[in-house]
Chain A
């Protein structure tokens, strides 16, 4: 078997992925193992985990592929400083030593991290957006498709359109730095007091609370959208090289004050800005999608890049865009580019240094439900729990599900750790915290007492795929929780008097209040028995007892923590939060029976 290892990292969200004869065997984010959220360090643990899952060593690898061309990126970095001078001195003094300290010599770095790598094993380099495009198209179910990648910046490109056909990706057009939707969204993320490269989804969650007052101002002064789908940023308002935030004084004067600090309260203008930038982003993305359709004439669209994690915009692309079908890489950010790099090397033509392997698309997709990480055996789980002095019962799978469903119906919050770990930012029912979505106070309870995070953030529902249409206005499936759709009319509850700002959170708007956002939308995960059999069976049990085929599904972590990986991580998180019940592998644990009231946490908390 030919094994190809893909690596991404050294910027944010490092990851590794492993292919065996083109099949995706494993993919892991470094943060899940290092316990540092968005870990940017070289992904040594993730690489080892991938090799271990396949039962091989680095000596068995046929190629290693990195997700960027480091020298091209370095030259762009220098050119940007030349273009931006005399501003940017501090950023230069921080960035360049980092480059000279090892980011340029990636071959050397990879070989020193993998001493068993054969001398003749090639180390290959894709471009950043080629890796994104490959991660979007090759695992998709489409034989041919338009491919749109949108993120902060790669080498020069920030947005690309390509055509995928068979095992070939043909790049067509790109928009280059500094004109970047990802950069623009991140600038507003930082301005509203959230952390760049991880707080963008908080801004998206905040948007429905605000009014789009600033849309016209933004379009006139900060970003211009053109008829052909392209866009340009006005750099008089933005500072792409600033270290702490990406906006300048002129921006602050125009939008009502200095950037919000994370500990300051959210004001109405932050809500309005969040809404406005969301509206602008959606318009820009719809323009890009129309352009991709014009350029390729395809009926299918594949999406990747960090901006493709904007599931509100994705929902609009599906509903209002010209494409009949849409497939989004579940790890659309830089972590997924590790997988893309490996796939680009595997299917890449021989004259470019690839393996030239053909591709046969699968009926669903090639992501295996996104469950590509490590899994602990029941014995290993019990050994971990024993070491931590936990009190547990080992149960048969049916009994375990029965007990979990009973706990959920009793209004308890359940930690659910089963099977292989997810790859990508979303917990899809293998490392999840679950709750009953019919309870009106469940959202604030889970946000404040369990996850210790902002109360405004909505939770996502996991629904049995076959009953999704009864609850949500969603055409097709959403197995990776990447689409937002309105609650179906029959489930809506009219609100007599609409409250203002964050007070809107307390109003019940549907039969599933805990997962319904203030604008009546939900971020849906459809669960089917092929991709996700264990979680499907649990939902079926819950449906049989309650008639409701929906559960709250949120990632198993607390604020500042990466999603839990091992049974030990899960137990520590369980003890240190207000989760009532933990089901990890075959083991069932109840909070009141545990000996510990608190445990040292296993992660390095990253502030917002």
Chain B
């Protein structure tokens, strides 16, 4: 749902309105810490308002929804990247060294000899493995 013309259902409208709530919630937290003007209560009261705006006038709110969606995706992508980079360092690299210590390497890096392997057949079409 990235273009106004695809807003069709009530669900789309709700999604647009609801996507504006997390930024308002962040502003509420920031106002509590004194980083932004306004009272936390005002931001709390604004949450149902933005939800309602999104549902009643999705076309007007949709550009913000898209911007926040992009930011969320960007932030989420980076967090997931860092998480899996950590998994690689903590789990994959030690396991790889362990395998090499016991003389196993899953990929054949040798340069000599034939590289032909007798085919084992195609296997069942029903199985995804």
Chain B residues closer than 8 Å to A344, beta-carbon distance? 122, 125
Q: A86-B93, A125-B128 are in contact. Are A171 and B116 (CB under 8 A)?
A: no
Q: Of A16-24, A227-235, A428-436, which binds chain B? A: A227-235
Chain B residues closer than 8 Å to A226, beta-carbon distance? 113-115
Does B118 interact with chain A (Cβ within 8 Å)? yes
What secondary structure prevails in chain A residues at the interface with B?
A: mixed
Tell me the chain B residues, 104-129 only, with Cβ under 8 Å from chain A: 105-119, 121-129
Per the bound structure, the CA–CA distance linking A179 and B85 in Å amounts to: 27
Tell me the chain A residues, 203-229 only, with Cβ under 8 Å from chain B: 224, 226, 228-229
Per the bound structure, the CA–CA distance linking A70 and B127 in Å amounts to: 10
Does A122 interact with chain B (Cβ within 8 Å)? yes
- Contact partner, A230, options B85, B114, B126, Cβ 8 Å: B114
Q: A70-B128, A82-B96 are in contact. Are A230 and B107 (CB under 8 A)?
A: no
Interface string of A513-528 (1 = CB under 8 A from B): 0000000000000000
Does A290 interact with chain B (Cβ within 8 Å)? no
- Contact partner, B125, options A65, A81, A92, A224, Cβ 8 Å: A65
Chain B residues closer than 8 Å to A90, beta-carbon distance? 85
Interface string of A230-248 (1 = CB under 8 A from B): 1110110000000000000
Does A135 interact with chain B (Cβ within 8 Å)? no
Per the bound structure, the CA–CA distance linking A175 and B114 in Å amounts to: 9
Chain A residues closer than 8 Å to B83, beta-carbon distance? 93
Chain B residues closer than 8 Å to A348, beta-carbon distance? 125
Interface string of B92-110 (1 = CB under 8 A from A): 1101110100000111111
Q: How far is the CB of B104 from chain A (nearest CB, A)?
A: 9
- Contact partner, A174, options B87, B89, B95, B117, Cβ 8 Å: B117
Interface string of B9-41 (1 = CB under 8 A from A): 000000000000000000000000000000000
Chain A residues closer than 8 Å to B110, beta-carbon distance? 232
- Contact partner, A130, options B82, B99, B106, B122, Cβ 8 Å: B122
Interface string of A77-121 (1 = CB under 8 A from B): 001111111101110111011000000001100000000000000
Per the bound structure, the CA–CA distance linking A361 and B111 in Å amounts to: 41
Per the bound structure, the CA–CA distance linking A228 and B114 in Å amounts to: 7
- Contact partner, B81, options A85, A94, A228, Cβ 8 Å: A94
Does A486 interact with chain B (Cβ within 8 Å)? no
Chain B residues closer than 8 Å to A497, beta-carbon distance? none
Does A260 interact with chain B (Cβ within 8 Å)? no
Chain B residues closer than 8 Å to A127, beta-carbon distance? 122-123
Does B64 interact with chain A (Cβ within 8 Å)? no
Given known contacts A178-B107, A224-B111, A235-B109, what 16 new A-B pairs fall within 8 Å (CB)?
A: A69-B127, A75-B129, A82-B92, A83-B107, A85-B95, A85-B97, A92-B88, A122-B126, A124-B125, A171-B122, A173-B116, A176-B108, A234-B111, A291-B116, A344-B122, A352-B125
Of the A-B pairs whose beta carbons lie under 8 Å apart in the complex, a sample of 30, sorted by A's number, is A71-B128, A72-B129, A81-B96, A82-B99, A82-B106, A85-B88, A85-B93, A86-B93, A88-B88, A93-B80, A93-B84, A93-B85, A106-B128, A124-B125, A171-B119, A171-B121, A171-B122, A172-B119, A173-B117, A173-B118, A178-B107, A178-B108, A179-B115, A226-B115, A230-B114, A232-B113, A234-B111, A352-B125, A352-B126, A353-B124
Q: Which of B's residues lie within 8 Å of A, judged by CB?
A: 80-85, 87-89, 92-93, 95-97, 99, 105-119, 121-129
